[in-house]
């Protein structure tokens, strides 16, 4: 069976960020490939100001209409958005730029997220912020503080998006035992990733069997426990490579790898670059 394509943000930009405005005149060029299923190695956010758009995510059709905010997680298989006279924003953000608290809101919902209706006030604020971000992203290039400026602005957007989704009623989520177990697992993962990498260890902490935990996580997210453990390891590794001055060997040990060479090989296999290559490509000016 052919592998599912992975859209890698690193191949498009070394800023960890993309932001685009989409308008009706750009829709025709999307029609030929909108139904190609793929995964991203980053988050995608959509904010529609006019019209509507549809896309299939993990076999479910999702309709986004004007005034709604929506996001797609890195692990989710989805088509490209098929727009219907739509206007709005597309924002792609590398996982290493998303604060743990924000990820707690986005990822704990797993594949249960729904388009979120914005109030008039929220929509005005989002449009204002994204307008500034878009302008700075395009016109500020070459500035000594370019990366710092656009990353600060995208942090404001992510904080607003997390706040918007955090305020939603989540009754169905809290009543669903499987979703709750998945949420507990992801919470433990963020806290324990430096010293716990075994699926059986997380199952033990949650007082369930390894087989049952894997079954639930696969059912709720479409990916295995091992997949999520690996994701968390290398998201943290990218953060340390980007934000810290620790050398690669120190980072390997901090993440619980006693074998530095094994960490390097594993990172290259997961990311497509060695740790040193990733750091060099993402050096801040």
137 lies in the same domain as 50: yes
Say if residue 189 is in the same domain as residue 164.
Answer: no
Q: How far apart are CA 263 and CA 265, in angstroms?
A: 6
**CA atoms in the 13 A half-sphere facing the CB of 41:** 19
Q: What sections of the chain are H helices per DSSP?
A: 100-108, 120-139, 146-166, 171-175, 177-192, 199-205, 210-221, 225-243, 248-254, 260-271, 275-281
**Residue 260 domain-assigned (yes or no):** yes
Please tell me the pTM assigned to this model. 0.67
Same-domain pairing of 124 and 38 = yes
pLDDT at 3 over 70: no
> Is residue 1 assigned to a domain?
no
Angstrom distance (rounded) from CA 40 to CA 94: 10
**Shared domain check, 197 and 159:** no
Counting residues of the chain whose pLDDT is more than 90, the rounded percentage is: 41
Kindly state whether residues 24 and 65 are assigned to the same domain: yes
| Residue 265 is assigned to a structural domain of this protein | yes
Q: So what's the pLDDT on residue 174?
A: 42
- Write the CB contacts of 76 (distance below 8 Å, at least 6 apart in sequence): 39, 57, 58, 111, 222
236-284 pLDDT tens trace: 888 788 778 889 999 999 888 888 899 999 998 888 889 998 888 776 5
Question: pLDDT at residue 67 above 50?
Answer: yes
Query: What domain range includes position 276?
Result: 176-281
Cα separation, 102 vs 228, whole angstroms: 17
pLDDT for the residue numbered 83: 79
pLDDT tens digits for range 192-243? 888 888 999 999 999 999 999 999 888 877 788 998 898 888 888 887 887 7
For residue 75, what is the domain's CATH number? 2.60.120.280
Are residues 151 and 213 both part of a single domain?
A: no
Do 150 and 32 share a domain, yes or no?
yes
Last residue of a domain, one of 139, 168, 197: 168
On whether both 56 and 160 belong to a single domain, the answer is: yes
What is the four-CA torsion angle of 21, 27, 29, 34, rounded to 10 degrees? 100
Does 24 lie in the same domain as 163? yes
pLDDT digits (tens, 9 = 90+) for 158-198: 999 999 988 874 444 444 678 788 888 988 887 888 888 89
82 beta partners: 54
pLDDT digits (tens, 9 = 90+) for 117-172: 999 999 999 999 999 999 999 999 999 999 999 999 999 999 999 999 888 744 44
CATH label of the domain that carries residue 252: 1.10.10.60
What's the length of the chain? 285
Residues 159 and 180 in one domain: no
Last-in-domain residue among 168, 193, 215 = 168
Distance CA 123, CA 238 (A): 32
């Amino acid at each position: 069976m052919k592998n599912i394509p992975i859209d890698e943000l690193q191949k498009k930009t070394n800023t960890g960020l993309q932001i685009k405005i989409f308008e009706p005149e750009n829709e025709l060029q999307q029609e030929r490939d909108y139904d190609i299923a793929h995964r991203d190695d980053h988050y995608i956010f959509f904010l529609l100001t006019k019209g509507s758009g549809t896309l299939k995510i993990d076999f479910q059709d999702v309709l986004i209409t004007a005034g709604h905010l929506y996001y797609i997680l890195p692990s989710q298989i989805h088509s490209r958005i098929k727009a219907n006279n739509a206007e709005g924003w597309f924002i792609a953000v590398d996982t290493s730029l998303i604060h743990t608290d924000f990820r707690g809101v986005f990822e704990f919902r797993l594949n249960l997220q729904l388009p979120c209706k914005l109030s008039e006030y929220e929509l005005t604020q989002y449009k204002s912020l994204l307008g500034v971000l878009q302008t700075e992203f395009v016109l500020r290039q070459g500035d000594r503080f370019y990366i710092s400026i656009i990353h600060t602005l995208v942090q404001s957007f992510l904080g607003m998006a997390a706040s918007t989704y955090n305020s939603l009623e989540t009754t169905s989520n809290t009543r669903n035992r499987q979703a709750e177990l998945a949420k507990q697992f992801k919470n433990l993962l963020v806290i324990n990733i430096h010293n716990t990498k075994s699926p059986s260890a997380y199952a033990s902490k949650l007082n369930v069997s390894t087989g049952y935990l894997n079954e639930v996580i696969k059912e709720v997210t479409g990916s295995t426990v091992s997949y999520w453990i690996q994701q968390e390891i290398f998201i943290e590794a990218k953060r340390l490579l980007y934000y810290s001055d620790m050398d690669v060997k120190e980072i390997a040990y901090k993440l619980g790898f006693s074998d530095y060479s094994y960490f390097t090989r594993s990172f290259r296999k997961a990311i497509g670059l060695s740790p040193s290559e990733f750091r060099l490509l993402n050096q801040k000016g």
